[in-house]
Chain A
Amino acid sequence: MSSLFQEQRDPVGGAVPIRRVSVTVNGERRVADVEPRLLLAHFLRQGLRLTGTHTGCDTTNCGACTVLLDGKPVKSCTVLAVQADGRAVTTVEGLASASELHPLQEGFKDEHGLQCGFCTPGMMLAAKALLDENPNPSEEDVRWALSGNLCRCTGYQNIVKSVLWAAQKLQGLSPQAAENGGSAT
């Protein structure tokens, strides 16, 4: 693969030490030479062209850049790429298999859990971390687990329903049972 800053012409006169990192991204080992200051979000977006991870706020508040690092949700805008060295990252591009969507992806579409779509990848990954730990969450559990992720479009109610829908599906239940999870009539 092409490494992250391979095309640059020695941008700071060779004064900056370049570090080689090896990160397993969505199950595939990726190796790149990076500046130590490179953010994980930019490693994924600019380096690996995995643009489903969005950057919104730069201060760890909005959660649009949420990815899973060894299964735990992190805000990749404030994680350095070198901190991911030797670890595993899951992005939105790793949610679906070749043939089918992850139930969270289905749930977000079915329950109208997104509008502009910008926060959606981060929301789904934060939700995945919740469901991996707690397969049968309450509405309150979902709201708490997603409280590090901001959405400006939906008002969250349908996002909560989407996650409950996915929880039902993952447990082999009929997702319609999640319909009562939010309080919209």
Chain B
Amino acid sequence: MTALDEIKIGGLGASRKRVEDNRFIRGKGNYTDDIVLPGMLHMEILRSPLAHARIKSIDTSKAWDIPGVHLVLTGEMMATRNLAWMPTLSYDTQAVLATDKVRFQGQEVACVIADDPYVARDGCEAIHVEYEPLPAIVNPTQAVAPDAPIIRDDKTNQADNVIYDWEVGDKEGTDRAFAEADVISKLQLHYPRSHPSPIECCASIADFNRATSKLTVYMTTQAPHIIRAAVAMVAELPEHMIRIVSPDIGGGFGNKVPVYPGYVCSILASILLERPVKWIEDKTGNLISTGFARDVYLTGELALRKDGKVLGVRMHTDADHGAFFSDAQPSKFKIGLMHSTFACYDIPVAHLTARGTYTNKAPGGVAYRCSFRVTEAMFFQERMMQAAANDLGMDQAAFRRMNFVRDDQFPHRTPFGFLLDSGQYAKCLDVGLEAVGYQDFQRQKEEAKARGRLLGIGISTMTEPLGAGNSREYDILGIKMFDSAELRVHMTGKALLRTGAKTQGQGHETTWAQIVAHELGIPAEDVTVEEGDTDTAPFGMGTYASRSTPVAGAAVAMVSRKIRAKARKLAAHLLEVSEEDVEWELGRFYVRSAPDRGVSIQECAMAAYSNMPDGMEPGLEGNAYYDPPNLTWPFACYIVTVEVDPETGVWDVLNVVAVDDCGVRINPMIVEGQIMGGLTEAYAMSNMQFITFDAEGNCVGSNYMDYLLPTAWETPGYELHEVVTPCPHHPIGAKGVGECAAVGGPAAFVNAVMDALRDTGVRNIDMPVLPDRVWEAIQFGRDVSGAPPVKTDE
């Protein structure tokens, strides 16, 4: 017998072509908007044009008069069912439809349900709302000003616009470190508000069946089981009578984690009308009302010894949460995992204070391609590291290297309490420097300078916490962050796998089958993967924060091992030996003393249905719930080179090198696809993509004409490298990866531009590093802030 070739059966390490592509390339995907139910009606939302205003009256009579309109919902009607407000994922409340005031531009005011979406939109236009405008607040400084209007006057005990004051770390120890420092390096900056903006907007089809009392909701959600729990609690429907189906999703990036008013309204409308109600959000609705990301101000300081050793970190963050505190994050933390900052550096002491404020902007604070504010944490870290290297007059690569947690220091406890378990940081940096030609570039840069050209090189190195939980520390609304998998092996050895995660482009249908192939030797093509239907999938917390491979993927390995344990008993029975005498190799059990005598996993599967030993429960299926012992800690080194045109401020990317250590790669092709996608989001945020506001709270960036996303034309090419340090606690050694490049990447781009401008003495230009900001920095030799309000054309 020759052993199975794991790559040939699509196992671990195979760049297997994706199963899901077969339908997508034919235009046969099944996205929410593709679903049509008999008798289905269509819903549109009327949104507030003002950022802050009291509602004096709403007249819906003309909308009701339009033929084809079935229902007009207002906040007043929602209130009679106790649904005008709903809880958020951060223990706050959010208006479903406004009753008293509107608190941001784009807030949901009314809904019209009609025969088709055109008529529903006609209905919205026929509604007359009378507003009394109030002063708008568009940044945290305005929010805490003494005369600031109170945005959340709906809440008792809310005397100002502050949501929380929070701190973590060792204040006294940090103060001592700063007192002993040779040099203190300080940096102030703003990580601008951004929007994940998947191409597919949010959507739902609610279908309440009065005869069975069952509510089925097809919707764009990354976490269908959390939605089921939320609907059970908010709408007071019994959980077993709620079925959430998340069909194909056209990108999520964190935007499709929260519960949005549109979902709730479509559900209520379906209950009232006893017909299916479809809501398809338009792009402007998506950009101005659903979960934004970032919008955090930093004041950061590093205590430094002359030789380059970092002695301590002091940070204060001011987060602008918009009108409702609806961050999707574990309940213990107020500013997500911001305190994972500086984790890859061996720093004795650190202290972080954080304040959150309400403003008249959309709520959200979602983990946009990151693990709960980790993107801000790593951006601040790497911008501060570059500024500190410059302040010390040190080489930025050498400065990082001397402060890294060394390979022999694991496990390593960070000053904020995280436990790092593995990594080869210096090796990753070396691979990156070699690939980009670091020394040679420094020479080119000097030569270019002599001819009046500005070249720059930016480095970003970071480890980030991915794959929440463990359940001791991580939960969403009290629900612990574990995940699950259920595996059924049919009698012919084919299998059906279901997990509590939900793919949105990550390729779970392909990679989960590879884990089964690795553990059981069943060819990946023989394994069907299903996710997203709460009536069939085991309970899970969904896909975001790069948690699927670390948690659900681990559950897939663990359930496969349970199946293998039972198959071993079946093998012993078939081989007529004791279980102890049976050995395993990929896809086959054999007799230890006679390796030629063996049975395949497929033969064991058949026996489970046709020839099981006396007393054995028939069948070959099982499930596993996996609670990870720790987060996974991938490491990455991103290096970018740029040329800045001093006349125009335009900068061009010359080279992007990415070195990712995400542990064992299940499907290298898919991993590389994730990294390139993340790098593009990093480039986008550094170069063009942001949502800002004018002084009246008007959203600038409310459609794709104003909210710029990079196309194939601007986007640079990428050179990818890998280092592999297996995760010591994950069953197959994998770490999260989907978000690394989006998290670590932005600082590399910005650092490169700032490096090119180093002789100007400018310390910071806020993202996006637009040409006019670069030009201003060069012309006037000053820092450039991007904080709102911005001036408009008028």
Contacts and interface: CB of A to CB of B under 8 A. Distances in A.
Interface of A: 5, 8-13, 35, 37-38, 45-46, 49-59, 61-62, 64, 91-93, 95-96, 101, 105, 108-110, 112, 114-121, 124, 142-144, 146-160, 182-185
Interface string B115-143: 11011001000000000000000000000
B24 A117 contact: yes
Contacts of A124: 25
B717 interface: yes
Contact of A144 (B25, B116, B284, B713): B713
B688 to A, nearest CB: 12
B619 interface: no
Nearest to A118: B250
A8 B116 contact: yes
Contact of A116 (B251, B715, B718): B251
8 contacts: A8-B116, A91-B27, A114-B18, A115-B507, A117-B23, A117-B250, A143-B713, A150-B704
A52 B673 CA distance: 23
Contacts of B21: 108-109, 114, 117
Given A112-B18, A116-B249, A146-B712, A152 B673 contact: no
B22 interface: yes
Contacts of B23: 117
A108 B677 contact: no
B720 A105 contact: no
Chain B binding surface SS class: loop
Nearest to A119: B199
Interface string B425-438: 00000000000000
Contacts of B67: 9-13
Contact of B198 (A5, A59, A152): A152
B89 interface: no
Contact of A153 (B27, B116, B677): B677
A155 B715 contact: yes
A147 B713 contact: yes
B242 interface: no
B28 A52 contact: yes
Contacts of A37: 118
Interface residues of B, number: 65
B27 A52 contact: yes
Contacts of B28: 52
B170 interface: no
Contacts, number: 206
Contacts of B713: 143-144, 146-147
B31 A118 contact: yes
Given A59-B283, A105-B26, A158-B676, A152 B711 contact: no
B673 A11 contact: no
A55 B67 CA distance: 26
B207 interface: no
B703 interface: yes
B353 interface: no
Contact of A12 (B26, B66, B197, B679): B66
Contacts of A58: 282-284, 703
Nearest to A148: B711
Contacts of B201: 56
Contacts of A116: 198-200, 248-252, 504-505
B679 to A, nearest CB: 6
A47 B452 CA distance: 60
A142 to B, nearest CB: 7
Given A9-B115, A59-B704, A185-B720, A152 B709 contact: yes
B731 interface: no
